[in-house]
Amino acid sequence: MSFKKYLKLYVITDRRLKPEVESVRQALEGGATAIQMRIKDAPTREMYKMGRELRKLTREYDALFFVDDRIDVALAVDADGVQLGPEDMPIEVAKEIAPSLLIGASVYSLEEALDAEAKGADYLGAGSVFPTKTKSDVRVIGLEGLRRIVESVSIPVVAIGGINRENAREVLKTGVDGIAVISAVMGADDVKRATEELRKIVEEVLG
Ligand SMILES: Cc1ncc(COP(=O)(O)OP(=O)(O)O)c(N)n1
Ligand SMILES: Cc1ncsc1CCOP(=O)(O)O
Ligand SMILES: [Mg+2]
């Protein structure tokens, strides 16, 4: 079975909102199908240790595990993949040095999406669909921008940016393979319940 079905509810950590281990456990309990460790400005050793813990947890729950930005950490903790943005390791180089990893490419336009697909990305994280307070200065592509990307590539697409339980349905109806969320889950008082609610919507639309 391909990895695509694991992209449907992709939850990303944010230590400014919740400590990683307990929040990831709750998200997995609530039905997250993939987890991304996204830590900015921490020592590599700390990322490695956290990555090992989250790798263990995601295995227990049969979820995929991705590391944001850091191909070295992804390899060291035996993650399933790495998420690479425009400032990170070029996709074609990442594929060469880490052929075992799934490569997710972060894209903010149709041009970037086509380029990432041509360079061999395994899936796209496309956004920001809506305005978001979680990441500064991101381009907002809207539902139409997202739809154009989905219709133009043949690799799986995960939508990201400002997605919550109010707008998740319309996002999913653009034809994406999944939604990626930070604040809708990590900013909730009850992480497990917030994840369950999103998973229910995902199941209703994607099946
Ligand atoms: C699934 C997914 N899609 C997009 C992003 C954004 O990546 P990037 O542009 O590298 O920005 P940072 O997250 O590193 O700030 C993502 N992390 N995950
Ligand atoms: C990391 C990232 N990349 C594009 S938008 C975004 C922020 C997503 O966070 P939220 O789900 O809280 O809007
Ligand atoms: Mg990144």
- Show pLDDT as tens, one digit a residue, over the chain (207 residues): 489 999 999 999 999 999 999 999 999 999 999 999 999 999 999 999 999 999 999 999 999 999 999 999 999 999 999 999 999 999 999 999 999 999 999 999 999 999 999 999 999 999 999 999 999 999 999 999 999 999 999 999 999 999 999 999 999 999 999 999 999 999 999 999 999 999 999 999 998
Q: What is the pLDDT of residue 1?
A: 45
**Interior/surface letters 43-79, b for 16+ CB within 10 angstroms, e for the rest:** eeeebbebbeebbebbeeeebbbbbbbbbbbbebbeb
Q: Which helix (H) or strand (E) element contains residue 116? A: helix 110-118
Q: What is the pLDDT of residue 145?
A: 98
Q: Which of 68, 73, 80, 186 has most ligand 1 atoms within 8 Å of CB, for mutation?
A: 68
CA distance 187 to 85: 23
Separation of 31 CA from ligand 3 center, angstroms? 23
Q: What is the pLDDT of residue 101?
A: 98
Ligand located closest to 40 CA: 1
Is pTM, for the whole model, over 0.90?
Answer: yes
CA distance 66 to 123: 12
* Residues making up the binding site: 36-40, 68-69, 88, 106, 132-135, 162, 182-183
Q: What is the ipTM of this complex?
A: 0.99
**Candidate list 8, 18, 23, 38, residue with the active-site label:** 38
Task: Show the domains of the chain with their CATH numbers.
Answer: 4-206 (3.20.20.70)
Amino acid at 199: R
Secondary structure class of 171 (helix, strand, coil): helix
At residue 161, φ and ψ (nearest 5 deg) are 110, 105
Q: What is the pLDDT of residue 205?
A: 97
- Both structure tokens of 139: 């381009």
Q: What is the CA radius of gyration of the chain?
A: 15
